[in-house]
Amino acid sequence: MKRVKVLALIAAMVMLLSACNAINVTKVANIGDVTAQKPEFMYYLEMAKSEAYQLAQAEGNIIQKDADWDTVMVEGKTAAQYAKDKALDSLKMILTLESKAKAAGFEMENAETEIATHKNDMIEQMGGRYGYEQTLSKIGVDLDAFNAIIARSVYANAYMQKMAAEEAYQPSPEAAKEKYDKEYVFVRHILISNQAPQDELIVDEEAAEPVDYAAEAKTEAEDILKKLSEGADFVALMNEHSDDGRGEDGKLSSDGYIMTNNGQMVPEFEEAAMKLEVGAYTTELVETTYGYHIIKRYELPQTGTQYDETIAQITSTLLGENVKNQVYAWADELGFTVNEKFVSKQKIKMEE
C-alpha cells in the first residue's frame, strides 16, 4: 500500500471540511492553525451523549425527556455538561496529536486501509449504512465532513500509538505493583441464584404451583450465613452451594476474583467487596440481579495467571495515562482554545 504523506492527508482533510456549507464552518476549537469546526464537534457530541446516557442508566437514572439532560447527574456534572466536556476532550486530544504529528513530520503507513477500516467500524456502530446516514443527517454532518473526521481521528490515533511504543512512556514494574497492592482486592463469593433452573420444565402450567425462586434463594443464602457465623469453612460452602458459573462437571468457573473499583462487576457486588477488610465477609446478603451473594476478602495473590493478567492490565492502563497526560501537557503549552459561546448554546435533546 502506498504511504500517505502527512501534508497530503491534512490537505485532503482541509478540502473536505471546506466543502461543508456556511452554517457548518463555525470554528469550535483550535490549537494554532489546527482547527475543529461544527461538524466535528457535533459528531463527538453525539458519541458523548450515548456514553452519558449509559453512565446515567448504570447509576439508576434514566434520561427520558429533554429536560433530564440538565438535571440528571453523571460523575458530578449534569448529563448535558458531561457530554459537552467529553466532546471537547476528544477534540483536545485529536487536535493536539495532529499538531505535534505535523510538527514532527509524522507519516502514516497504510493510511487508506486504516481509514477505510475505521470508517466501516463506525458505520457498523451507527446501525449500518442506513443508520449511519440517518445519524449524520440528524446531527448536521455531511458525508465529506464525516470522511474528514475519520481521517483526522485515524491520523491522530496513529501518532498516539507511536508514542505508546516509546520507552519514555512505559510505566515501571514498580508502579504497576504499587497500584495493584493499593487498589485491588481478592475475593471469593457464594452466589445463590434467584432464577429458575434452565432445565426445569412445567408440563401443566395451570396445575403447577408457581415457585418463588427469589424467596427460596434468600432462605438458602441466609442459612449459609448462619453456618458461617457458626464457624463453617467459606470455601467448602462455596464449592458446595455457589451457582457462579458452575459447569456440567459440577465445578465452579472461578476460585475467586482479583478486582478493583472499575465497573467490571455489578455495582452492588463491587461496593460491598471493596469495603471488606482481609479475612472479613459480608454479614448481610448482597442482592444483585443474579441473586444473593456472600463475599469474603482474602490476601491478594502475588503469583499465578490472574495475578499476571491483572498486572498486565494495570501496566496497559498506566501506559495510556502517561501518554494522555503528555498530550494534555502539550495542549496547555500550545494553547487549546474553545468557542465557549457556541458550545454553551448547544442544547442536548433526546433522539427524535
10 Å Cβ neighbour count for 197? 9
CATH topology of domain 6-171+314-345: Triger factor/SurA peptide-binding fold (1.10.4030)
Provide the pLDDT confidence category of residue 5 given band limits of 50, 70 and 90. very low
Give the model's pLDDT for residue 13: 46
- One CATH from 3.50.50.60, 1.20.1530.20, 3.40.640.10, 3.10.50.40 for 185-200+211-299: 3.10.50.40
pLDDT in tens, 281-303: 999 999 999 999 999 999 999 99
Cα dihedral sign, 332-318-296-212: positive
CB contact at 8 A, 27 and 35: yes
| Best-predicted range by mean pLDDT (161-165, 201-205, 213-217) | 161-165
pLDDT in tens, 42-66: 999 999 999 999 999 888 899 999 9
- Give the span between the Cα atoms of 315 and 51, in whole angstroms: 25
CA distances from 150 to 75, 115, 119 (A): 28, 7, 6
- State the average pLDDT for the chain: 89
Q: Where in the chain do CATH 3.10.50.40 domains reside?
A: 185-200+211-299
CB contact at 8 A, 30 and 88: no
- Give the span between the Cα atoms of 176 and 63, in whole angstroms: 38
CB contact at 8 A, 190 and 242: yes
Give the model's pLDDT for residue 15: 42
Provide the pLDDT confidence category of residue 200 given band limits of 50, 70 and 90. low
Q: Where in the chain do CATH 1.10.4030 domains reside?
A: 6-171+314-345
